[in-house]
Amino acid sequence: MTPPPSFLHRLAGWAGAAYLHLVGLTSVIQKLDDPEYLACRRRHQPLVYALWHNAQVFLAYAHRGERASVLVSRSKDGEYIAQIMKRLNLKAVRGSSSQGGGAALREMIHQVQEGGRVGFTPDGPKGPLQTIHGGVVEAARATGQPIIAVSISSRRKLVFRKSWDQFFVPLPFSHIVVAHGKPLFIPKELSIENAKSLVRSELNKVRDAALRALVEAPSYASSFLIDLLAPAVALVAAVQAFWRWLLPSR
């Protein structure tokens, strides 16, 4: 049993969710999504998200309101994440490879079978770095639904250098790239090790694509001005088009 959250956990949940909203509202967010992933979303297809542990904070905001279930450890630190997710309308399924993992995995598989979406950090909660624990592969094989590799990159961020995975938190007034990869189906006949290798490769591919997009992106000021002026430019163009139609030249 997971103990009930303390007052400090609940307070941190509210503060963390408010902070992520602040980051989201003040930042330029660039989406880098594979067309096949977007097609899955339009069909409301069940999905198995996979993301590296160090990128999980802002992805909770990026998927806010989706009502997805995310595997979170039963540790005290995990409770902080669970409380933030609760405020973002996401569900925490508590368990890890060291405690309650079997029951949590069965719950995640059940959620997908019922038409839901779930998220795994395959190298969490304690690594080693970029290790693929088997849960994400088992969930995809058991349900026949695809794995979607997810990543973010942020121009301004706070990096916890002493953490095992260089965990980072985006800062306000940043340029953030949110990337979703191509749906990856895991054949049942594929060995578990080969499946893990595929997932690792796809996660790194999407991570590298997000990093490249961030390097190529304009400055924050340029992006902000473009977003600010785009509606006004579109309105002026529409008025001009209407005026030309109303008073055609002779």
Cα-Cα-Cα-Cα torsion 167, 171, 176, 179, nearest 10 degrees, comes to 30
Split at pLDDT 50, 70, 90, the class of 97 is low
The maximal CA–CA distance of the chain, rounded, in angstroms, is 80
| Range of lowest pLDDT (57-66, 92-101, 145-154, 207-216) | 92-101
What 8-state DSSP symbol labels residue 127? -
Single-letter code of the amino acid located at 126: K
Q: What is the dihedral of CA 158, 161, 163, 169, to 10 degrees?
A: 10
Check if the beta carbon of residue 133 is closer than 8 Å to that of residue 20: no
The structural architecture, per CATH, of the domain 7-217 is 3-Layer(aba) Sandwich (3.40)
Mind listing the pLDDT tens digit for each residue in 43-59?
999 999 999 999 998 99
Mean pLDDT to the nearest integer, 60-75: 89
Alpha helices (runs of H) in the chain, residue ranges in sequence order: 7-26, 35-42, 56-62, 76-87, 101-113, 135-143, 192-216, 220-246
CA distance 62 to 152: 10
pTM assigned to the model: 0.84
Which phi and psi (to 5°) does residue 110 adopt?
-60, -40
Choice between 238 and 91, residue whose per-residue pLDDT is larger: 91
Highest mean pLDDT among 2-16, 22-36, 212-226: 22-36
**Tokens 């395959």 label which residue?**
122
Query: Looking at the DSSP assignment, which residues form a beta bridge with residue 158?
Result: 169
β-strands 69-72, 91-94: how paired? Answer: parallel
Evaluate if residue 83 carries a pLDDT over 60.
yes
Looking at the DSSP bridge assignments, the partners of residue 176 are 29, 154
Structural domain boundaries of the chain?
Answer: 7-217, 219-250
Residue 250 pLDDT: 47
Per DSSP, the three-state class of 214 is: helix
